[in-house]
C-alpha cells in the first residue's frame, strides 16, 4: 500500500471538506455553505494518504491584488510531518503563478493562536507592526 502523501488540486468533495473541519473542531458549516465555499475559492488542494484526506488549504480573494489563505487544515495525527508546509507552499506557488508581472500581490491569512511561528517560517509577518494594524474579524449570525 502507498503511504505517500499526495496533493490534489481542486478535487476536495463537500463531505471531505465538512469532515476535515469537524476533525479539527472548527465551526460547523451547512452543506450549502461548504459547496459555495469550494465553488467560490480561487484554488484549493487536498492532501491525501491513500483515499483519506489528511489536509486541506484554500485560496480566496480577487486574484489580482489580494489573496487569502483560508482553511489551512491538517488533521491532528498528521501534524508535524511537513504536510501543512507542502499545502502552504502549493498555495503560495499558485498565487505567484496568477499574479501579473511586475506587480505585488498581498497574501494574507488569519492565524490560529499559537501557529504564528509556522507561518513566519514561510515568510508571513505577524500583525500588528509599526506600520500595520492588527488583523480583525467579526462573526455575523445570519437568521431569518
pLDDT in tens, 32-60: 999 999 999 999 999 999 999 999 999 99
So what's the pLDDT on residue 62?
97
**pTM for the predicted model, two decimal places:** 0.91
| Domain annotation for the chain: domains and CATH numbers | 5-120 (3.40.630.30)
* Torsion of the alpha carbons at 8, 9, 10 and 11, rounded to the nearest 10: -20
Task: Tell me how far the alpha carbon of residue 95 is from its chain's centroid.
Answer: 12
When pLDDT is cut at 50, 70 and 90, the band that residue 122 belongs to is very high
pLDDT at position 123 over 90: yes
Note the pLDDT of residue 137. Answer: 85
What value does the mean pLDDT take over residues 112-123?
92
| Confidence bin at 3 (pLDDT 50/70/90) | low
What is the pLDDT of the chain when averaged over all its residues?
A: 94
pLDDT higher for 55 or 112? Answer: 55
Any bridge partners for residue 143, and if so which?
none
Kindly give, in sequence order, each residue whose CB lies less than 8 Å from that of residue 51, ignoring residues fewer than 6 positions away: none
pLDDT (mean) for 83-88 = 97
Query: Could you tell me the pLDDT band of residue 144, with boundaries at 50, 70 and 90?
Result: confident
Contacts of 53 by beta carbon, 8 Å cutoff, 6+ apart: 12, 16, 19, 20, 46, 47
Amino acid at each position: 500500500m502507498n503511504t505517500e502523501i499526495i496533493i490534489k488540486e481542486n478535487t476536495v468533495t463537500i463531505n471531505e471538506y465538512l469532515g476535515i473541519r469537524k476533525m479539527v473542531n472548527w465551526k460547523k458549516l451547512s452543506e450549502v455553505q461548504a459547496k459555495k465555499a469550494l465553488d467560490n475559492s480561487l484554488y484549493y488542494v487536498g492532501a491525501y494518504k491513500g483515499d483519506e484526506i489528511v489536509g486541506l488549504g484554500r485560496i480566496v480573494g480577487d486574484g489580482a491584488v489580494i489573496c487569502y489563505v483560508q482553511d489551512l487544515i491538517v488533521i491532528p495525527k498528521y501534524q508535524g510531518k511537513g504536510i501543512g508546509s507542502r499545502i502552504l507552499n502549493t498555495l503560495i506557488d499558485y498565487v505567484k503563478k496568477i499574479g501579473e508581472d511586475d506587480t505585488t500581490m498581498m497574501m494574507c491569512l488569519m492565524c490560529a493562536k499559537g501557529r504564528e511561528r509556522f507561518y513566519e517560517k514561510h515568510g508571513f509577518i505577524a500583525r500588528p507592526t509599526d506600520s500595520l494594524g492588527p488583523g480583525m474579524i467579526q462573526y455575523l449570525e445570519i437568521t431569518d
